[in-house]
Amino acid sequence: MLALANKIAIVTGASSGIGRATAKLFADEGARIVVAARRQAELDTLVAEIKDADGTAIALAGDVRDEAYAKALVDLAVESFGGLDIAFNNAGAVGLMAQLPERMPATWHETMDINLTSAFLGAKYQIPAMLERGGGSLIFTSSFVTPPACRAWPPTPPPRPA
């Protein structure tokens, strides 16, 4: 028996990396999937791969920072598959690769909106849909990726010639 048979899942950040692999794994285990990311072409390719492997998936491209998009993903899961059991909130961004003193507040806010606010917005609509089915699994993923330029301040000076 498949571990996720009869389950319905949303996977954000599904166009590549961890999100893509997770969507394929969930589908292989029997879940019906709504895949989400900004890049429609990559989502379409993923949906085709899942269907070729006898899975079920649909895609909706958009920006996870947009509250209307968060709601639309849940609405799509409910309307297309009958509910929501699993939400894998995986969309994220590293942000500007610069020393902290060189960062502008706008780029900081953009990164926080993609990595944190989007998870809040997703959960805001995902939780009620899961509760309608008696509960579910709300999953958040993150990374501790630190660009080399952000690791130390002030930068280490080059070694002096002997």
CATH number of the domain that 118 lies in?
A: 3.40.50.720
**How far, in Å, CA of 20 to CA of 50, rounded?**
10
Domain assignment present for residue 128? The answer is yes
**149 inside domain:** no
- pLDDT for the residue numbered 126: 98
Total-model pTM: 0.85
132 lies in a domain?
yes
Report if residue 39 sits inside a domain. Answer: yes
3/137 Cα distance (integer angstroms)? 13
Q: Is residue 1 in a domain? A: no
What is the pLDDT at residue 155?
54
pLDDT of residue 29: 97
Domain count, the chain: 1
130 lies in some domain: yes
Determine the structural domain holding residue 96 and report its residue range. Answer: 8-143
| pLDDT value of residue 107 | 84
> Which among 140, 139, 92, 90 is positioned nearest to 112, based on CA atoms?
92
pLDDT over 90 at 159, yes or no: no
CB contact set of 87 (below 8 Å; sequence gap of 6+): 9, 10, 122, 123, 126, 130, 136, 137, 138, 139
Is residue 111, in this structure, part of any structural domain at all? yes
Listed range (1-5, 19-23, 57-61, 128-132) with the worst mean pLDDT = 1-5
Alpha helices by DSSP H, 54-147:
67-81, 105-112, 118-132
Is 49 inside any structural domain?
yes
> Which residues share a beta bridge with 37?
61
| Three-state secondary structure call for residue 96 | coil
Percent of the residues in the chain that have a pLDDT greater than 70, as a whole number? 89
Mean pLDDT of 113-130: 95
Q: Of 89-98, 108-117, 121-130, which range is least confident?
A: 89-98
What pLDDT, on the 0 to 100 scale, is given for residue 103? Answer: 77
